[in-house]
């Protein structure tokens, strides 16, 4: 409970100190200052970024086929005979 009270008192003291500083600053510099804000026109900067070339990737897929062994005379005759 003591810590909460100390925290609240600290916040109140800080607020009072800040408000006092603002009031003193206002009275020292004068309540109304006759300063005019001069707005200067900023130059427009155009940046041209060249568009990058789009490269199309070509995918090459190599498919190796198994070499079929040559059929012997016996295998050729078996295919010709229809059981």
Q: Looking at residue 15, what is its pLDDT?
A: 93
pLDDT band (50, 70, 90) for residue 7: very high
pLDDT average, residue stretch 6-33:
85
Digit-coded pLDDT (tens) for 23-80 = 888 888 765 555 566 667 778 888 888 877 777 778 888 888 888 888 888 888 888 8
Q: Looking at residue 8, what is its pLDDT?
A: 93
Tokens 């040559």 belong to 70
């Amino acid at each position: 409970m003591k810590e909460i009270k100390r925290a609240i008192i600290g916040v109140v003291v800080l607020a009072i100190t800040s408000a006092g500083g603002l009031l003193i600053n206002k009275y020292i510099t004068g309540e109304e200052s006759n300063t005019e804000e001069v707005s200067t026109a900023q130059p427009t900067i155009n940046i041209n970024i060249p568009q990058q070339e789009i490269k199309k990737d070509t995918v090459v897929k190599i498919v190796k086929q198994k070499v079929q062994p040559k059929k012997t005379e016996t295998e050729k005759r078996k295919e010709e005979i229809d059981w």
